[in-house]
Amino acid sequence: MPVLHEQLIPVFDEVIARNPGEAEFHQAVREVLESLSPVVGKHPEYADAEVIRRLCEPERQIIFRVPWTDDAGRVQLNRGFRVEFNSALGPYKGGLRFHPSVYLGIVKFLGFEQIFKNALTGLPIGGGKGGSDFDPKGRSAGEIMRFCQSFMTELYRHLGEYTDVPAGDIGVGQREIGYMFGQYKRITNRYESGVLTGKGLSWGGSQVRTEATGYGTVFFVKEMLAATGDSFEGKKVVVSGSGNVAIYAIEKIHQLGGRVIACSDSSGYVVDEAGIDLDLLKLVKVEQRGRISDYARLRGGGARVVTDGSIWDVPCSVALPCATQNELDEVGARRLVENGCQIVAEGANMPTTPGAIRLLREAGVRFAPGKAANAGGVSTSALEMQQNASRDSWSFDYTEERLAEIMRSIHDRSIETAEEYGAPGDYVAGANIAGFIQVADAMLALGIV
């Protein structure tokens, strides 16, 4: 493990002591602290005001009971979370995740990442995250609705367009946002569009929000490629996952002339050398909420499904982990390197383990962290908030152009900051430092709060 700056060792020790058993949160904090060594030397004012220590402690953590009734009339019980991490730059902003793996450590890691990601967008949004250990898999639409209503019946009191603005994440899409918005509206008697993002187009949503995380990741990689005079044209790409991020990453890669030859879900991965058929993938995964094996079966011919291997065994020049945290480990990273992969960019949040990042870096693979590469989703959420605040709605093309511009600016800022702090080409250092400085300066200006 790389050593931490001596001033940061007690900060990290305190994070571990205060947050026992929250391995993902420790991992996310460690990665940022490792990047901050050159900043600590240059900016003693941050240490004087304990900015880094304060940043690692959420401003507020909310944990609540979510009871609901299933279709058989049985009472079910889940736990809900909202971690309001930092509001120096704007209202808390970040998604809600519904997945059985959710516990406080996952929500804190996501909320911590969100602070820096949101700062990097250059838009006025703070960082937060929430969710529940509710498992939507196999649940009817009625059960999902009752769960969302119960969840919002507690959460609404903590939200507001100037306070905290959730959106989706794993397990939460437009359907769930709709049920939650409906319940918020009913309880508060306010049509407060700006309280949630990821809404439907006819009730306050923004064009491109659905596509934004996947498109944004691809725009980011396009900039990485352009920096060396290259493009997606003719490139073989592997995209893990087959949810919202993966689907729209695949769509944009195909529009830009690349070919995605593999994607996955929790049951396995599919290899389709002719290029993933996106209409079929959307039918199977979005409309039917089916498995990746259904895609292979319906596609027939060239597509094969693999249930006992790793998607990172599939040779490619660009790899985009777009499924979930820690899905790309050292074994996977080694396979990517052996097969000549040149770029890895995170569409998901923290999908690459620290060991895998080290291995990729040492092998000269260019690596873009999620904080920078997947910031397109939350950026477009901020554009949705702008439209809600001005009671306006923008065209698809205009919104997509704004997104592309934001991704370009995040790319350039990350790479320029890396250069300035003595780590040329290191997107991790650049993104962490640039995001940190933006938040830290605001925290200094706002005093000890």
Task: Give the footprint of ligand GLU on this chain (CB under 6 A).
Answer: 93-95, 167, 169, 197, 349, 377-378, 381
The residue number whose beta carbon is nearest to ligand GLU equals 95
129 catalytic per annotation: yes
Q: Between residues 92 and 421, which has the closer beta carbon with respect to ligand GLU?
A: 92
Choosing from 93, 117, 129, 185, which is the catalytic residue?
Answer: 129
Q: Which amino acid is at 64?
A: F
CB closer to ligand GLU out of 173 and 425: 173
Q: Which is nearer to ligand GLU, 94 or 430 (CB)?
A: 94
What are the structure tokens assigned to 66, written together?
């979510």
The nearest distance, CB 378 to ligand GLU, in angstroms, is 4
Instruction: Output the smallest distance, CB 379 to ligand GLU, in A.
Output: 8
The least CB distance from residue 68 to ligand GLU, in Å, is: 23
Task: State which residue, 97 or 299, has the beta carbon closest to ligand GLU.
Answer: 97
CA geometry: angle at 350 spanning 382 and 169, to 5°? 45
Closer residue to ligand GLU (CB): 169 or 272? 169
Query: Which residue is listed with tokens 């993966």?
Result: 246
Q: Which of 263, 225, 270, 224 is nearest to 246 (CA)?
A: 263
Q: How far is the CB of 387 from ligand GLU (least distance, A)?
A: 14
Q: How far apart, in whole angstroms, are the C-alpha atoms of residue 307 and residue 328?
A: 16
CB of 382 to ligand GLU, least distance (A): 8
Q: How far is the CB of 167 from ligand GLU (least distance, A)?
A: 3
What's the longest Cα–Cα distance across the chain? 64
Residue type at 9 in one-letter notation: I
Question: How far, CA to CA in Å, does 397 sit from each of 194, 207, 208, 248, 444?
Answer: 22, 9, 9, 16, 38
Q: Which is nearer to ligand GLU, 12 or 156 (CB)?
A: 156
- As to burial, measured by CB atoms within 10 angstroms (0-12 exposed, 13-18 middle, 19+ buried), residue 369 is buried
Task: Assess contact for 243 and 250: CB atoms under 8 A.
Answer: no
d(CA 53, CA 348): 26
Residues 223 and 410: beta-carbon distance below 8 Å? no
- Tokens of residue 232, six digits: 């997606």
Which distant-in-sequence residues (6+ apart) come within 8 Å of 423 by Cβ?
38, 429, 430
How many Å apart are CA 373 and CA 124, to the nearest integer? 19
Catalytic residues: 129
